[in-house]
Structure formats: structure tokens, C-alpha cells
Structure 1
Amino acid sequence: MTDRRANPRHAIILPALCWNGDGSEFHAITVDISPDGIRMRSATIPPVTAQLGCSIRGVGVMEIRVVRAGPDDFAVRVVGSGDAPGQVVRNLLEMARLQAPPVEKVRVCRRVVPKFKQVQVATADGTSVPAQILNLSATGVALRLDAPVVVGQTIMVGRHQARIARRTEAGVGAAFLTPLDEATVDEHTVL
């Protein structure tokens, strides 16, 4: 059975200093945050229900309660701070967004430059114009095209239907609606 959480978790890595009621301190690192609380990793694992003070860099000082303890991490809920607990969570979520790297689009299929670069492109209104293939893969094609097309528009590239995915300095990039067989795409491919 999988553990399905009602609320999404957002990765965030920030140093934290925690202290017990007796004044003893230990260091921790935040791992992630959700509306349910903050997960932290530390060499010192406090017991469940422990009330701690905590200072997280960039967030501030707050009072937390341990709600789960594992072998190398623990989860807490913010129970009090200078700011309202909800504001602390919002600040942490904003910091998590700032730490999250932008998603990089990774090309899965290799691109080739075909020997036969000329192809006819038909637009939605039936206009047929010549185009030059800059490169292609099983999933798409880059074209130099002298026709007014917009991102999202469906076109026919030779015998293959494609959707304009982006504009480039050299022309457009289009994604095939039905990908080609990657094993057959090489410099001799004719669209």
C-alpha cells in the first residue's frame, strides 16, 4: 500500500537551529514543507510531542511541535511564532519556489539533419508552401518556413501531421501528432 498524502510536499533546504526547553541545542536541515508541517533531517531526533524552539534562516524564530520521528528525520508543526503559523508556512512555500530549479525540457529522441531538406507544408487553410528541414527527430521537426503560422496551429509536414510548438530565430519547431519510429529516423528520412 502506498502512502498518499492529501497535501503536496515542496522541497526546501534551509539550515535550522532547534532547542529544547532545557536550552540544549541541535542543528537540523529542512527537507520539505506541506500545509501539514515541515520535515527536517538531523543527527538528533527529538521525541514525538516534544515542544521545541526553532530558528530557520530567512524565516525566523518559531515554536514547533514534533508530530513524527523517524531514524534520520522528523516532522513538525508550527504552533507559534512572531508571525502567524500560516504566514510562516507561506514564507517557506515561497522560499521553496525560489529554490526549485526551472524544469528543463529534455529531448529524448536524437536529432538528425536529413540529406533531403526540402518539404511541402500545408497549413490549416489548405495553403501549401515549401519549407526547409533544419533537423528532425522521431517526435518533431525544425523548419525554415515562410508562411504565417502560430504556436498551436496544426500543419502537414510532407505526409505527417504536426503542431507548431515554438518559434525560433530560424523558423519554427513542430511536434508530430504521431511520432515516427525512432529506429527509422536517420539522414535518409524523407517526410
Structure 2
Amino acid sequence: MSDRRAAARHPVVVPTLCLRGDGSEFHAVTVDISSEGLRLRSATLPVVDERLICNIRDIGSVQVRVVWAGSCDFAVRVIGTTPSPGDVARRFIELARRQAKLSEVVRVHRRINPERTAVEVELADSRRVPAQILNLSASGVALSLDFAPALGEIIRVGRRQATVARRIERGVGAAFLEPLEDAAVGEHTVL
């Protein structure tokens, strides 16, 4: 992998467990793939020419050789034959395409973390429950709360009505019925 990075790069983010020859292991996350190799990011960096077995979510176990190491990233090339390097590349490119489509749909507006995170949520049955804002955008809000309302339920977050759009760890993501002006969303925004 050269520093020029002339080859087309396909961003793809997938958790990976890397196994070293001495039996030790470390966690990494993929960054992107190109014809030059697969770039990963980790707090633990292998050395150039080190051989690893990378267990990559949605891809499988892959034998690789480190071809480049930077300050927090490293790049590998597939050296094993099962799955073949071409098969690994095809799987990654398809995964990158799926992730790109998801990010286009999910992340339309920029996300911010407001200073004031405490908010009251009124459920469809008029119960009021305390919640914490995890992040906020013009189109919706991610909330941490003890009680998870049903998907599709109309709730009131502070003074704004929203529909519960998805479940997240320890909470929900809700889409505002009337989006905010994108320019009006900032760290001082209060719902």
C-alpha cells in the first residue's frame, strides 16, 4: 500500500479480531479496501511483513500479511487461498456498497451532542418518562430511556412530536414529525 493512495478506495467499517502467530490477539476495525489492500485501524499495531489471521464480521477468517503500518492504521493483503483474495475483495466491495446505501438513508443531517441532554418524553398513553438525548439532528433524536416505546409510536420529546423509528442499545431513535431547520440545530438546541 503506497502513501499516494491512487487506487479507488471503498470505505467499509467492520469489526475484526486479529490473531498473531504467538497466539495473542487484538481488536481492529476495517477502514477501507482498494486494489492495494485492506486498511484497518487499531490501538495495537502489527509490524510490516507480520502474518495474521483476521476474523472479520460478515467476511470470515482470512489469512493476511501486513504491508504497511502507520501511527494508528495498518494495511494488509490477503495471502490465504480460502477464501480467495478475489472472493474477499468481492465480499468487501458488496459490503461497502450496502453500507454506503445505508448511510445515505440514515444520515441525512449532521448529528450534534447538545449541552442539555435531560429531556422528558411523553408516551402515547400520556405517561411521562425521563430520558437523555444521545444525539440530535434536524430530522430526529437518539434517546436513552428505561422504557422503550413501540416502533411507530408517536411520542413527544420535550415540545416536539416524533415517531419511534428504530431501537438502539438502551433506547430509541425517533424521527421528528416536523423537522427542525438544519441551521437551527447546535449544541445549545433545547427540545
TM-score, normalization: structure 2? 0.51
Q: What is the 5 A alignment of 1:65-144? A: 65-100=65-100, 101-102=103-104
Structure 1 residue 5, shift from structure 2 partner: 3.1
Q: Closer, same or farther in 2 for the Cα pair 1:21/1:105, shift >3 Å?
A: closer
Structure 1 residue 4, shift from structure 2 partner: 4.1
In 1: Cα distance, 2:54 partner to 2:12 partner: 16
Structure 2 residue identity aligned to 1:85: P
In 2: Cα distance, 1:4 partner to 1:23 partner: 34
In 1: Cα distance, 2:69 partner to 2:5 partner: 17
In 2: Cα distance, 1:65 partner to 1:32 partner: 16
Structure 2 equivalent of residue 44 of structure 1: 44
| Superposed CA RMSD | 2.0
In 2: Cα distance, 1:13 partner to 1:6 partner: 20
Structure 1 residue 74, shift from structure 2 partner: 0.3
Structure 1 residue 81, shift from structure 2 partner: 4.6
- Residue 33 of structure 1 contacts residue 93 of structure 1 at CA under 8 Å; is this kept in 2? yes
Q: Identity, % of aligned pairs?
A: 55
SS in 1 for 2:104: coil
Q: Which runs of 5+ in 2 are unaligned?
A: 110-191
Rg comparison, structure with higher value: 1
**Total equivalences in the alignment:** 104
Q: Which runs of 5+ in 1 are unaligned?
A: 107-191
SS in 1 for 2:39: strand
Structure 2 equivalent of residue 16 of structure 1: 16
- Residue 61 of structure 1 contacts residue 81 of structure 1 at CA under 8 Å; is this kept in 2? no
Structure 1 residue 35, shift from structure 2 partner: 1.6
